[in-house]
Structure 1
């Protein structure tokens, strides 16, 4: 295993940014930036051993300073949507940024991927890691409490990327942290075009339906007999245009699936595979949900290699708490009590099938 550091540019505020590349014994690698703690690349082989980058992103720092789609980004303090851009905690109302219809999405306008992190590297015979840390001060994004957050990325010789989250707050707050990488594992990797022909499986029989604002209705529905059913592998595009459990036509996926694992137990959650490249990405997590997002409205110029990413140009598996959990009493609570430590792990395993 090896870790390479290189200068990646200077932010608009004059901060030097470093790129960290971890390369394993097979020549597969992952790269991260201390600007935003983003995953900048994941380079893994196809069936013929050809190494290609399979996550969407940018070649330059200026791209990540804009990064409206949140390519490769850790998302917090509270990922996904919060209704009416506010919540009540301990009897006090906290207004948030209204940046998504009437919702607060992914923490608002000041997202975690627009901030600098301290970095610490570690290396062993079988793996290497980079830990990115920062303190989110009380009131940042509108959330209470000084939150100390560490995100540790570990890459090993089995082509597994492990993401470990560790957080503690000095006051009661809410926390829903995830990663928003967009995967395209087809021939050509991130430049392969749309992902509608990729095949997805999700280990879930239930999901949380959404309304016209993509906000959970508070219900929990069965996937059986609907376009939401990914219990068996099938093409992403094959059921678009069919109905979900509420007889609403599915034009793309931006839905939270309920995972069957026990709290704190890392279990298989989902996978995507490509019939041509024969790549597969398997997802394991201890979180209670995973958001499948297929980017049906993605149009982003200036991607890697100068390409423009189009509709359905990638997909995300966002391991998470249920969206809007703070405002839905039937959902698991995202409240993190003062002094308590939040820990969670998600693993992306890259292979050939």
Structure 2
């Protein structure tokens, strides 16, 4: 298992890192601490030629300008919240509306727009990166401070594990997800793909 880090770019005075994780079977994952974005998943095709099977961009600037949540961590709450409001214990909270009259994917500056703290991880299951971010009380209108950790772990068995942990100091709502877009052929149309999910 190999894990490397390089500078992907800068936002303000902060460096943004790009991590590359390889498991020795030809599977290589690229991810950045900006938005927890998976920038690439390269896997050998039937002829052994590596293909990137996730959509993405070549530069940090393109991810900063992206409005489709390409490959990123989504939160504090993934999905739409109608009218940008919800209630807890009879108290109404008004969130930032960034999708017309609705709140989408954590708001105007959701988790996809944050530079996460990153630490390399090596453990028996594999190696990867642990990302952490503290969302302060009131961020985008949400109650409570939330400490989030997301682990990306590449295994020797060609698995990419994503584990989410969140702890809060107040009643709040949290709904985290990762939003990669896949093309298992690497390029071209996906209309011939057949996907089976054991659910």
* TM-score, normalised with respect to structure 1: 0.54
Moved over 4 A (4+): none
1:199 aligns with 2:194: yes
> Equivalents in 2 of 1:118, 1:109: separation in Å?
20
**Length, aligned pairs only:** 199
The structural deviation recorded for 1:82 is 1.0
Q: Which has the higher contact order (CA 8 A, sep 6+)?
A: 2
Q: Structure 1, unaligned stretches of length 5 or more?
A: 203-267, 270-353
Q: What is the alpha-carbon distance in structure 2 between the residues aligned to residue 147 and residue 125 of structure 1?
A: 29
Q: Which has the larger radius of gyration?
A: 1
Could you say which residue in structure 2 is the equivalent of 1:309? none
For 1:5, what is the secondary structure of its paired residue? strand
Residue deviations 1:271-310 (CA, integer Å, cap 9, x gap):
xxxxxxxxxxxxxxxxxxxxxxxxxxxxxxxxxxxxxxxx
**How far off is 1:194 after superposition?**
2.9
Distance of 1:30 and 1:165 partners within structure 2:
18
Structure 1 distance, partners of 2:184, 2:169, is 41
Q: Specify the alignment match of 2:5 in structure 1.
A: 5
Q: Which runs of 5+ in 2 are unaligned?
A: none
Give matches, 1:61-76, under 5 Å. Answer: 61-76=60-75
CA RMSD of aligned residues (A): 1.4
Could you say which residue in structure 2 is the equivalent of 1:107? 106
| Matching residue of 1:85 | 84
Contact 1:108/1:141, CA 8 A, preserved across alignment = yes
Deviation at 1:15, TM superposition (A): 0.9
Residue 174 of structure 1 and its aligned partner are, at CA, apart by: 0.2
1:273-288 maps to which residues of 2 (within 5 A)? none
More strand by share: 2
Q: Name which of structure 1's ranges 112-121 and 162-171 shifts more when overlaid on structure 2.
A: 112-121
Does the 8 Å contact 1:40/1:58 carry over to 2? yes
Is the contact made by 1:55 and 1:181 (CA closer than 8 Å) also made in structure 2?
yes
Q: How far 1:126 moved relative to its partner?
A: 5.6
